[in-house]
Chain A
Amino acid sequence: MELAKVAASLEDGLIIASLSGEIDLSNAADIAERLYRAVPHSAQGVVIDLSDLRYIDSRGIHVLLQVLERLDVRQQDARLVLPEESPLFRLFVILSIDKSPGVHRTVEQAAERIRTQT
């Protein structure tokens, strides 16, 4: 099997992109590119769901944050979802991004926030 997968679907003008598998130095750039391409210009925003992700390290998160920046340039609201139960949550805490405004606990919360922002 490949190391990580990106599954994207369109729900009410929002792209819900679900990441699964593992992201490290070997595939981070590739996953970022696939994620970026999964978001059409027409989409209002994107929810990047990390609930099913098995592994990500600081390089992976760094690359994800770059995707958020690129989408922001296109004026598309992009948000990350990571539940507290996720085994990866500890890393988010250490990197102090667990409480940042772009990071949510559920897909619903993230989608709701994008819709109310506009």
Chain B
Amino acid sequence: MVSSMVSSASQRPTVAPARAVVTILALAGVYFIAAKLGLRLAFLNASASAVWPPTGIAIAALMLLGPRVWPGIFLGAFAANVTTAGTFATSLGIAAGNTLEGIVAASLVARHAGGVRAFERAPNVFRYALLAAVLSTTISATVGVTSLALGGFARWSEYGAVWFTWWLGDAAGALIVAPLLLLWARPSPSGRWDRARLIEAALVGLTTVAVGNVVFAGDLPIGFLTVPVLAWTAFRLGPRETAAGIVLLSIVAIWRTLQGTGPFAVGSENTSLLLLQAFMGTMALLNLPLAAVVAEWREVTRLLRESEARFRELNHHERGTAAILQRSLLPRALPEIPGVEAAARYLPAEPEAVGGDWYDALVRPDGELALAIGDVSGRGAEAAAIMGKLRNSLRAYAPEGLDPARILQRLNEAMEPGEMATLLLMVVNLLAWKGRYVNAGHPPALLVGPEGSAKYLEGSGLPLGTTLNRRYEEQAVDLTAGSTLILYTDGLIEQRDASLEAGLARLEASSHEARGAAAGEAIEEVVLRTLGGRAPRDDIAVLLVRMSELPVHRVALRLPAVPASLGEVRHTLRRWLAPKPLSEGDLSTLLIAVGEAATNAVEHAYGLADAVFSVEATDESGLLTITVSDRGAWRPPRALEHRGRGFQIMRGLVDDVDVQTTERGTSVRLTRNTRAGVAP
């Protein structure tokens, strides 16, 4: 302990001083120039100005460079004051007040208002305004004006007026100048500048100057005209540009007001400047939070949009272990089933990090849809490895004849000591409109009915990796056509300053808004609304699945020409035929006929990558027509007798079979009449 303290104490003076001295002197110089400029606008008292940018410089410098640079502020303030008015003693007092104001403001903002990121979150902007602009500035005003009064440079009778000018000048400096410095010192969150944006920025800048001149050079009370210009900047460009716009407008306004024009040129110069500064401070207080909110919404939206593109990109370019891991953890595509719309988003809290969240969706051979979402505790490659294990095990077990509870038990057995994960597994039977699920310590799935009624699917066991309870209980849920399932990880509902219940309530409320939209839009709407425009604090994975009834009159499928597709054809046709007046025998017979035609198509294309076949089923008031088409152009038609046998079977099963073979392929049209009174 002692030796390390000694060594760090002995090292510090050898490395830091040269650079620190240069920084402090540079800060003193900048502060001095800004203070001199400010003091030129001191009309009521030679040392009290209504325009005081140094306050903003001091706060920004102390936050960006650290509290150790305070001597720079002290030196700059002292030098500016001692060369303007007052004595050595009053200048010392004023400099002390200015320095203390900056230190207090910076430490309060660091603790309570997000520090250097104060202007990137709307609530922090307001906290900053209260702590730095309103409260801390009273220190400088009180210390400064008292020093002046004690030194005889201000009469005690004007103490109030001088104090107010001082305080307002400092407050305006804190609200107008500090945001500009803080925002521009940090890397831009809004991405690169393309040509269109540069042009718009130039246009906004010119408009700001033009409007400033119109407003502040005339005599009409049209100060409000500055509002739309700043709102434009906040909405279209961002917080940095908004801060710059406010400074630009301030410069034009001060210059014009000093010339005696504009809505604030009333009475004395000091009163005019005070009014103007109050106005500009208010504009800053309005537009900076607005810009922050817009920027946050844009950031979350961008994350959402990127999440899909990112993984598509990752599939093509390997970029390090993290990228490879990430790619292997999430499905490359979601199942495409008629009547089922699925969308998923993965939002990492940090751009390149690998989190512990994952999801998966697959169709089991019997047509059931399996949905999974999980969260492995921990982060980084280790969490990713556990995720990979779980996902691969799930993919191996899901097609087997195991029910969800058994699958979870198997996955639990795959966990090693010290590993922990939550997982929600749901299996949906689209024919019976039933869902079965097992929950191992994961937040409950949300089921949104077609009318917007939402309910959380309760029932949860211990997370995977706990040896206490190895039995998982399966829950059942009835689904209705048009309902939507939302599976998510806790990052969506957890926020630092709100309870879990509040997060669940926000998600439930968000889901109402999104029920009409397409799945891709709905999931973005749900995420945006649930986050309330805040950037995610933790990784978020969301899987949204909407299940609808198949259209009565027509359903179409396009599938890879592989044997596994044959089941998909039957599963879809069963769902489509379920509401129609067919006996079980008639249904089987029709499915066998389609199966014969589809099997021919699959065998026809056998061995060819990317070969597809399509199935189209139509219902014209009871006349069912199912057409199976392949593109057989790549190979001469098979021996006729083989196909002839298949057609013979089909003819025995349905009312009519029509075969069209062209250069482009073979198309088999099966017709079955279910109209009342017509016998097969």
B585 within 8 Å of A by Cβ?
Answer: yes
Residue of A nearest to B584 (CB): A87
Q: Which residues from chain B contact A88 at a C-beta distance below 8 Å?
A: 588, 592
B567 within 8 Å of A by Cβ?
Answer: yes
The docked-state distance in angstroms from the alpha carbon of A26 to that of B603 is 11
Q: Which residues from chain A contact B570 at a C-beta distance below 8 Å?
A: 22, 24, 55
Contact (Cβ within 8 A) B595 A57: yes
Known: A24-B599, A25-B602, A57-B599. A3 touches B649 (CB 8 A): no
The docked-state distance in angstroms from the alpha carbon of A91 to that of B368 is 26
A2 within 8 Å of B by Cβ?
Answer: yes
A5 within 8 Å of B by Cβ?
Answer: yes
The docked-state distance in angstroms from the alpha carbon of A81 to that of B56 is 91
A66 within 8 Å of B by Cβ?
Answer: no
The docked-state distance in angstroms from the alpha carbon of A22 to that of B425 is 25
* Cβ proximity bits B555-587 to A, threshold 8 Å, 1 near / 0 not: 000000011101100100000000000001101
By size class, the interface of chain B is: 20 to 34
The docked-state distance in angstroms from the alpha carbon of A93 to that of B564 is 27
**Prevailing SS type, chain B contact patch:** helix
* Cβ proximity bits B573-617 to A, threshold 8 Å, 1 near / 0 not: 000000000001101110110011001001100000000000000
Contact (Cβ within 8 A) A2 B589: no
B338 within 8 Å of A by Cβ?
Answer: no
**B609 CB to nearest A CB, Å:** 18
Q: Which listed residue, B365, B585, B648, B653, touches A3 by the CB 8 Å rule? A: B365
The docked-state distance in angstroms from the alpha carbon of A1 to that of B366 is 6
Q: Which residues from chain A contact B564 at a C-beta distance below 8 Å?
A: 26
* Cβ proximity bits A97-109 to B, threshold 8 Å, 1 near / 0 not: 0000000000000
A59 within 8 Å of B by Cβ?
Answer: yes
Residue of B nearest to A58 (CB): B649
Q: Which residues from chain A contact B587 at a C-beta distance below 8 Å?
A: 87
The docked-state distance in angstroms from the alpha carbon of A94 to that of B648 is 9
A36 within 8 Å of B by Cβ?
Answer: no
Q: Which residues from chain B contact A1 at a C-beta distance below 8 Å?
A: 364-366, 368, 400-401
Contact (Cβ within 8 A) A58 B646: yes
The docked-state distance in angstroms from the alpha carbon of A87 to that of B583 is 9
B399 within 8 Å of A by Cβ?
Answer: yes
Contact (Cβ within 8 A) B585 A90: yes
Contact (Cβ within 8 A) A58 B368: no
B644 within 8 Å of A by Cβ?
Answer: no
A95 within 8 Å of B by Cβ?
Answer: yes
**A87 CB to nearest B CB, Å:** 3
Q: Which residues from chain B contact A55 at a C-beta distance below 8 Å?
A: 570, 588, 591-592, 595
Residue of B nearest to A90 (CB): B589
Known: A87-B585, A87-B588. A2 touches B652 (CB 8 A): no
Q: Which residues from chain B contact A89 at a C-beta distance below 8 Å?
A: 585
Q: Which listed residue, B364, B401, B596, B602, touches A5 by the CB 8 Å rule? A: B401
Residue of A nearest to B570 (CB): A55
Q: Which listed residue, B364, B563, B595, B653, touches A90 by the CB 8 Å rule? A: B653
Q: Which listed residue, B364, B401, B566, touches A24 by the CB 8 Å rule? A: B566
**A109 CB to nearest B CB, Å:** 22
* Cβ proximity bits A11-37 to B, threshold 8 Å, 1 near / 0 not: 000000000011011110000000000
Contact (Cβ within 8 A) A3 B588: no
**B396 CB to nearest A CB, Å:** 12
- Per the 8 Å Cβ criterion, residues 34-58 of A in contact with B are 54-58
Contact (Cβ within 8 A) B584 A25: no
Contact (Cβ within 8 A) B649 A91: yes
* Cβ proximity bits B339-364 to A, threshold 8 Å, 1 near / 0 not: 00000000000000000000000001
**A71 CB to nearest B CB, Å:** 25
Contact (Cβ within 8 A) A2 B399: yes
Residue ranges of A at the interface with B (Cβ–Cβ < 8 Å): 1-3, 5, 21-22, 24-27, 54-59, 87-91, 93-95
25 residue pairs of the A-B complex, CB under 8 angstroms, read A1-B365, A1-B366, A1-B401, A2-B364, A2-B366, A2-B400, A3-B365, A5-B401, A22-B366, A24-B567, A24-B570, A25-B566, A26-B365, A26-B563, A26-B564, A55-B591, A56-B592, A57-B592, A58-B596, A87-B584, A90-B588, A90-B653, A91-B589, A94-B653, A95-B649
Q: A3-B567, A24-B566, A24-B595 are in contact. List 6 more A-B contacts (CB 8 A).
A: A2-B399, A55-B570, A56-B592, A57-B596, A87-B585, A90-B653
